[in-house]
Amino acid sequence: MAIITRRGALAAGALTTIARPTLAQPRYPARPVQVIVPWGAGGGTDATARIVASLLEKEMGQPFNVVNRTGGSGVVGHSAIASAAPDGHTIGMITVEICMMHWQGLTELKRTSYTPLALMNEDPPGVQVNASSPYRDIKALADAIKASRPGQFKASGTGQGGIWHLALAGWLGAMGLAADHVRWVPSNGAAPAMQDLAAGGVDIVTCSVPEARAIIEAGRARSLAIMAPARNPQFAAVPTLNETLGINYSVGAWRGIAAPLNLPAPIAQALTAALQKVWNGQEFKDFMNARGFGMVWGDAAGFAQHMERTDTTLGAAMRSAGLVRG
Burial class (CB in 10 A: 0-12, 13-18, 19+), 204: buried
Q: How far is the CB of 220 from another protein (least distance, A)?
A: 7
- In degrees, rounded to 5, the angle at the alpha carbon of residue 322 between the alpha carbons of residues 320 and 323 is 110
The amino acid at 317: A
Looking at residue 61, what DSSP letter applies?
S
Q: Which is nearer to another protein, 66 or 117 (CB)?
A: 66
| Closer CB to another protein, 193 or 270, in the complex | 193
Please answer whether residues 296 and 254 qualify as being in contact, where contact means their C-beta atoms are separated by less than 8 angstroms.
yes
Q: Which is nearer to another protein, 186 or 266 (CB)?
A: 186
Closest to 205 (Cα-Cα) out of 162, 165, 171: 165
Q: How far is the CB of 149 from another protein (least distance, A)?
A: 11
User: Cα separation of 117 and 120, whole Å?
Assistant: 10
Select 47 or 144, whichever has its Cβ closest to another protein: 47
Question: Could you tell me the smallest distance in angstroms from the CB atom of residue 205 to another protein?
Answer: 12
Closest to another protein by CB, 66 or 304:
66
Closest approach, Cβ 51 to another protein, in A, equals 7
For residue 310, the SS3 value is helix
- Give 72 or 264: the residue with its C-beta nearer to another protein: 72
Q: Which CB atom, from 32 or from 186, has the smaller least distance to another protein?
A: 186
Closest distance of CB 50 from another protein, Å: 5
- 28-37: burial string, b at 16+ Cβ within 10 Å, e else: bbeeebbbbb
Sheet holding 204-205, edge to edge: 183-184, 154-156, 204-205, 126-130, 221-226
Q: Which is nearer to another protein, 52 or 247 (CB)?
A: 52
Residues that bind another protein (CB under 8 A): 1, 40-44, 46-47, 50-51, 54, 66-73, 75-76, 79, 106-107, 151, 154, 156, 159-162, 183-188, 191-192, 194-196, 198-202, 213-215, 217-220, 287, 290-292, 323
Residue 182 CB, nearest distance to another protein (Å)? 12
Which residue in 57, 76, 58 sits closest to 68, CA to CA? 76
Q: How far is the CB of 214 from another protein (least distance, A)?
A: 2
Q: How far is residue 132 from each of residues 146, 165, 216, 220, measured CA to CA in Å?
A: 21, 23, 12, 8
What does the angle CA 34 – CA 122 – CA 222 come to, to the nearest 5 degrees? 135
Contact (Cβ atoms closer than 8 angstroms) between residue 31 and residue 62: yes
Longest dimension (CA), the chain: 74
CB of 256 to another protein, least distance (A): 20
